[in-house]
Structure 1
Amino acid sequence: MRVAGFMPKTLEEALERAEAHIRGEEAVDIKEQRKRGSSWRSNSPVRKRGNYNSYDRRQKGLDHRRSEGRNPPTREKGMSFTPLTKTPQEILATEEVKQNFRPPRPLPKSRKNENFTQFCEFHEEKGHHPNDCFQLKKRIEEAVKLGELAHLVKGVRDKMAEGKGKEVNMVNSDEKVPHKRQRLEAWELQCVCFPPTEKGPLSSPLVVEATIGTLETHRAYIDTGAATEIMFEKFFNRLSNEERSRLQPSGTSIKGIADIPLKPLGQLTLDVCFSEGQKKRIQPLTFVVINIPSNYDVIIGRPGQCAFFMAVSVGHGTVKFPTERGIATLQPSQEAYMVEGESHRSEEDKQRLIINPKYPEQRIRVNPSLSQETLSYLEKLLTHYSDVFAWCLEDMT
């Protein structure tokens, strides 16, 4: 489809120009019908009412012919043009019109001296304004009739806008995100507060008890900085066959745990239960499974905390969340503190190698996600070339 002298770039533009072309033809047809109606009236017989009327008409005709001899009337008189959304000067300023419109006929001498203060860009001469140029208006009217400028007819864009609904652009994630509930239950709106603590502000990680699927764990780490829930492979292997069969491929990578991004084994969704006596709550959470050593079993990130409406206070060493029976409070158990102490020591030992027996306090940090075979080979290689390292000040001179 070729409209207005060039190919439309989009379907919407093509439909708009087609609609404009139709509106332009309708406007021209209406004008032609009006002309035919006026000519029919002018040719109809008129009854004479008296000789004085014929005398007046003869006198007026004589005066009219005399005035025409002095100032010939412009052809614009009696001719109507289609209402447009732009003025002739604005239409002429577009590149399409400049390229497609043929040059106009020269102005007659009688009109060249009408007004020296105005300049017509269409004729490129002084004498009148382009908005008053009859030839330009006529050329534009022809272009409207041919459909080249029909999109400028008043009302076309408004009509196109009426049938177009409001567009809402949304960005959707590939991962399935549960829809938020429109209305919260009354018990979910309970007030959560933290009283002053006598022990002073704490800084230990929040490691609490939880039930993940069918397994209980004392090593669920509440991490307010994690963007997802993480399950470590050693805990995943303890799940039942039915639960492990839910593992699905994951296209994301995990950053922040190791020095390099980690490729997960997959992801799975399990029911998670946090409780304090009779106050408990169960929510399904999606875990990303990774295969690096850790003293934690799972990490509950921000999505899981939001699912339980958790209020986390590291300074109080407490996690609170609403249940149907009231506010539940979770605090790290003694076993959790022991796990945390072991975690620091074991992780330090696993991530650092002794490659020079003379300086056992100086260790080399390595990636904990490396396999045991790779780790052993790396340790032998570094030990063999340990002399290239500077172990003391004398080695640096």
Structure 2
Amino acid sequence: MIEHKEKFDAYTQLTTSRSQIYLINKDSDKWQRPNQMFHKNRDKSKWCAFHGDHGHLTEDCRHLKDNLEDLLRRGYFSQYKAQTKEGDLAKTANRNVQSRISEIHVISGGPIHGGSVNGVKASLKGFRHQINFNESMQWRRPPIMPAMSFTVKDAEHVIYPHDDLLVVTLKVSNCLIHRILVDGRSSANILYLSTFKKLMIGPEHLKPVRYLVIGFTGASVTPEGLVCLPVQIGDDVEARDVMTEFLVVDVPGAYNAIIGRPFIHDVQGIISTYHLTMLYVSNLGRTTKLKGNQEAAQSCYLTTLKQPAKRMPVEEVNPLTRKQRRDQRRALMNEAENEKEEEMMQVSMEELEARPEDTPRPQPDGETQQEMLAEDPERTVVVGTDMDPKARINLVTNLRENADVFAFSADVMPGIDLAVMVHRLNVDITVRALKQKK
């Protein structure tokens, strides 16, 4: 067997596998696409997404490994670097990716149809139109999938009678997550905030959402955001890799995550809670089985019963009526207007300058000098220096003796008679005043 020499002496430690990094960023134009493989005796059971051909697994691709390392050293995809000492690179070793996967054990509405009420209405309208269109012509065939069936053998190692849910273990991003509930009634894939933090993914990767998730303890929960993560179900030839959208919620729960209908449909899955088994289609197009953990299912159920007080409070039984909401909005508007009027009353008189900004103030002619009229350095006047010295001395003396009659701002002149100065509005006082609607 030919031993290939590594391009780099050391490779950067990563938080997830190289195949998952490429799967997330495969549409980027930064990749250097490899040449086509021409080997005749290639392994048809192994698929490389980087080459787009059979022969080896994506994780074992040398071209992907070297290309990714080159991009990392040029500053790209830095979010996947492991937190190590500066300049610390992992020595080349042929260890399995499984050894780099951490595990998460016990941690004690969805976007498909629009999420919001208006989005669901629009989706339903389009769905009805599609039904009417398909009825007028030949019905479109669903995606091709192999035949699936459950047998008596699938019931082995299951203790009967039982009413347990299907609880499984999946690889999500860079972690092997246990206690994941497979719920065909859920319209969204749910990832609890405590689990999301364990994945070591920054909150900047969360996409904001505006709709609510209904069903947690009967209350509506606002998600922390939406995140798209790679999920692998099964191992080796039985693996199926899909990019899955999760709604991250901050509520207590006995599970680490909930897999809903979007993920089940993506893997073309069929669930049997009686057999505690899920059938799905692998990457090779074969029918594969995923067994649930009955002990974990009962443990989660026990955790739920032990923590009734930690559940989220139910929303108000009697919500506000339309009139009450309108009155509440009016009260808030009036309060805001009153605060605005108070701010207007607190404006200093110096700011009420009527002179346009593009019109400069008159400037004295010749050289001038500032003279203080009092101990306050801000109460000064400008006097010309080219006037007669005796006249200048007499002028400054007279100004200082009568400094108390000078007003340096409008707010030091209270009590001025209205006959001297007043601002009037050209309106008819006999007309009843009306408040303008906004």
- TM interval, shorter chain, is 0.3 to 0.5
TM-score normalised according to structure 1 size? 0.40
Q: Which has more radius of gyration?
A: 1
Structure with a larger share of its residues in helix: 1
TM-score normalised according to structure 2 size? 0.36
